[in-house]
Amino acid sequence: MINISSQLGNLALEMELDIKEGKLTSLLISDKKYISTATVSSENEVNHMQVKGIQHKLKHYFLTATAISSVALLPRGTSFQKSVWNELCKIPLGETRTYGEIAKKLNSSARAVGNACRKNPIAIIIPCHRVVSATGIGGYAGKTGGKQLAIKRWLLNHEGVNL
């Protein structure tokens, strides 16, 4: 778990790499209060450097609202979830799409897209926060209020989207 200072306060990000593939499989915003710096097996220096690189890119994102690129991803999920996450990665910084728009592209339903967004294992980099409902901001991480929705609203504002 790594700690990143942001305008949201300290964020605890749980990060996991696939050792074989050397790709990011998980990046979750955690509610844990006591956290340490990144912990990576000392026997694998390459993965340690990857974690440090991702940490640097995230810090840069929080400072500048610059798109996070060049991170090898390996999200774990169903074929449908992966197709939704692939569409999310196509949404440019500073723009949003509705659940319905993505559903139409995938010949699915807005609810199914929302469920896939909720299961997104790589927060911020796979930008599920850029998906909104047809009538408002929608939810974030399965929540429609509270801290999670405040995070979504902040991320969108940070990227130049005002809802």
Q: Measured between alpha carbons, how far apart are the two ends of the chain, in Å?
A: 31
> Which amino acid is located at 119 in the chain?
K
Active site residues: 128
> Which amino acid is located at 25 in the chain?
T
**Phi, psi of 115, deg, nearest 5:** -65, -40
Whether residue 114 contacts residue 102, with contact meaning beta carbons closer than 8 Å, is answered with no
Whether residue 68 contacts residue 125, with contact meaning beta carbons closer than 8 Å, is answered with yes
Adjacent-strand bridge partners of 73: 24
Whether residue 64 contacts residue 115, with contact meaning beta carbons closer than 8 Å, is answered with no
